[in-house]
Amino acid sequence: MTGDDGLSLDHVGFMVRDLDAGEERWRKLGFQLAPRSPQMGATPDGGIMSPWATSNHCVMFARGYLELIGITDPAHHNPWTAFLDRFEGIHITALRCSDADAAYAALAKRADGFDPPLQRKRDAPYGDGVRAFRFRNIFSQDDQYPEGRFIVIEHQTPEVIWQPTLMTHPNGAVAFDEVIFCGDASTVQRIAAITGVPAAEGGFALPGGGKVTVLDEPAFASRFEGATPREVPCAAAVVVAVDALSKLRACLAMADITPKKSSDDLLWVPAEEANGGIIAFKQA
C-alpha cells in the first residue's frame, strides 16, 4: 500500500447515542441520508454475524461518504461502548484500497497494530428492498491508536451503497474531501505509517483522492476560531465539497443555522450542531 496504489479517503464514522436526533441534525444541514441499516458482527458469546445494538445511516457522495452510528437496540452487544463513553463524535477513519491482501502486506511493513483482513457482510437497504453489502476490513487495534479506529477497506459490492438516488443532496454535497485530526507529532507519525504518504504542511494528500490533515491544538483553534475538541488526540472535523455554496447557505438558513468561516474561508458548522465533529464545506 504505497503512494502508487490509489489509496483514497473512504469515509468517517460519527457515533451518537440517539440516532433519531443525530439523523435530524444532519438533515438540517442539507444531507440526504440513506435508509437506516442495522449493524451486525462478532459478539462476546462467540457469534460471528450477530445483531449489534447499533444501526447506521450513510451520506453518500460521488467520492466517499459520512457514516452516522447510533444505538437502536440496547439489549444487544454494543461494540462501540468505549468510544461513546469517551465522547460523541468522529471515531472511525476509513481509507479505501483495491485489494485488502496486498494492502495489508504493505501496511504491516510500516505500521504495528493492525489485524489481517476480515470478511464482512450485511444486508443494506437497496431500492425497495435489501441487498448483500460485502467488504473486507483491516482494523487497527484500539489500544495502539488513541485517535480512534482506523480501517483500510476493500469494497466488494460498492454499487450496493453508492446508489445514484442517494447521492443528490439539498445542500449540493458531492465529495468527502478531508478529515482533520487534532493531535501532536506522534499522531503525524502514526498517520504517515498508515497512509504511506509523505506529510506536506501537516497533511497527507492521498493518491486516490482526499486528504488527511493533522493540526496541533493552537493550529486547530486558529483554523476554526473558538472550537476546542472534546479530547485530544482525535478526529475533530471533516470537509465536504459542495457544487454550489448558495445551496448550502439556503439549507442552513432554513434550519436557522448560521455557519462560521474558517481561516481558509471554509463555511463550518460547530460540533454540537453536527453530531460531535465539525463539518466544514468548500466549493467543489
* Residue with cell string 468522529: 90
How far is residue 92's CA from residue 11's CA, in Å, rounded to a whole number? 8
**pLDDT confidence tier of residue 4, bands split at 50, 70 and 90:** very low
- Residues 206-234: tens digit of each pLDDT: 999 999 999 999 999 999 999 999 999 99
Give the DSSP H/E element, type plus range, for residue 104. helix 100-110
At residue 223, the 3 state secondary structure works out as helix
Query: Taking the model in full, what pTM does it have?
Result: 0.96
Q: Which is higher by pLDDT, 199 or 97?
A: 97
- Domain architecture of the chain: domains with CATH: 8-166 (3.10.180.10), 173-283 (3.10.180.10)
234 is written with which cell numbers? Answer: 482525535
* pLDDT score recorded for residue 5: 57
CB within 8 Å of 10: residues ≥ 6 apart: 64, 65, 94, 95, 96, 151, 153, 155
* pLDDT score recorded for residue 123: 87
CA angle 230, 234, 238 (to 5 degrees): 95
- Residues 247-261: tens digit of each pLDDT: 999 999 999 999 999
Assess whether pLDDT exceeds 90 at residue 131.
yes
2 is written with which cell numbers? Answer: 504505497
| Residue 169 one-letter amino acid | H
